[in-house]
Amino acid sequence: MKAIDIENIEITLLLDAIFNRYGYDFRHYARASIERRIRQLKGKSGCTTISEMIPKLLHDESFFQKFVREFSIPVTDMFRDPFVYQCIRKQVVPILKTHPFVKIWHAGCATGEEAYSLSILLKEENLYDRSTLFATDFNDTALDIAKKGIYALTNAKTFTANYQAAGGISSFSEYYHARYEAMALNNALKKNITFANHNLVTDSVFGEMHFILCRNVLIYFDKILQDRVLKLFSDSLVHGGILCLGTRESLKFSTIAEKFSIIDETARLYQKKAV
């Protein structure tokens, strides 16, 4: 048997072991991405084979947490893809304003920058005080950063440029204060956000949402898992609710596509049909 075939068996056994031990299901992540990250972790762990990692993952929870961090991609910015936020401001906010109270779920929030971006946008549109935001991720380390809302001051220039390009109506500097090479976002932006651990692969519906954002997460899943998660989003939205995906993701060819109308395909904004 070729070495690459043995490695594939090892990877399958490792993923099965993680699911059975911890309930984390990485078995339907894009295979190429899975293989690359497992090899990276193997190199960092000092193990010579993937098989050696299995008992270590089963018995050492701290090593498993390193594994989870390796599989989480907290690559994000404030107002990432500014044109998307322009579309949200112009095309989604008027719909949200028709509801007396608004429930929003940001799935896969990573370290929180985009959740806070949405807080700023809602504040500027006078919607924040009647909105509740749930920002979730399966990576507790990333969630800890998100809850603090403190980022490196070196990001300020990029965040400011994105905010302006996204149609910000104030000065971005009003939303944070700088200290010791860090920028701390105002506590007022955190008031209506609940950060929580939620695993899109294994956890259940987050119900009765008016707006769901999940950007640049599905690209790491295979087709089977993408459909499962998209169905989760569909089931979590009220009729007329809105879904926003990443710019490299789409509802096209998914099993739920017919349940949605397109608001803006470029910005990946979709509205769940009333029937």
What is the pTM for the complete model shown? 0.85
Question: Is the same domain home to 219 and 248?
Answer: yes
Structure tokens at 63: 């090593």
Task: Tell me how many domains the chain contains.
Answer: 2
In a domain, 53, yes or no: yes
The reply to whether 100 and 212 lie within a common domain is: yes
Among candidate residues 46, 71, 96, the one where a domain is terminated: 71
Question: Do 247 and 266 have their domain in common?
Answer: yes
116 or 274, higher pLDDT: 116
Tell me the average pLDDT across 10-24.
Answer: 90
pLDDT of 226 over the 70 cut:
yes
Average pLDDT, the chain: 91
Same domain, 184 and 204: yes
% pLDDT > 70, the chain: 97
CATH number at residue 207: 3.40.50.150
Reported as a single tens digit per residue, the pLDDT across 136-183 is: 998 888 899 999 999 999 999 999 999 999 999 999 999 999 988 999
Domain range for 66: 3-71
- In this structure, the answer to whether residues 97 and 199 fall within a common structural domain is yes
User: Does 120 have pLDDT greater than 80?
Assistant: yes
Q: Do 125 and 65 share a structural domain? A: no
Q: Is residue 77 part of a domain?
A: no
What per-residue string of b and e applies to 54-83 under the rule 16 or more CB within 10 Å gives b? Answer: beebbeeeeebebbbeebbbbebbbbbbbe
State how far the Cα of 14 lies from the Cα of 7, in Å rounded to an integer. 10
* Own/partner pairs, 178-181, CB within 8 angstroms, 24+ separation: 178/153, 181/152, 181/153, 181/154
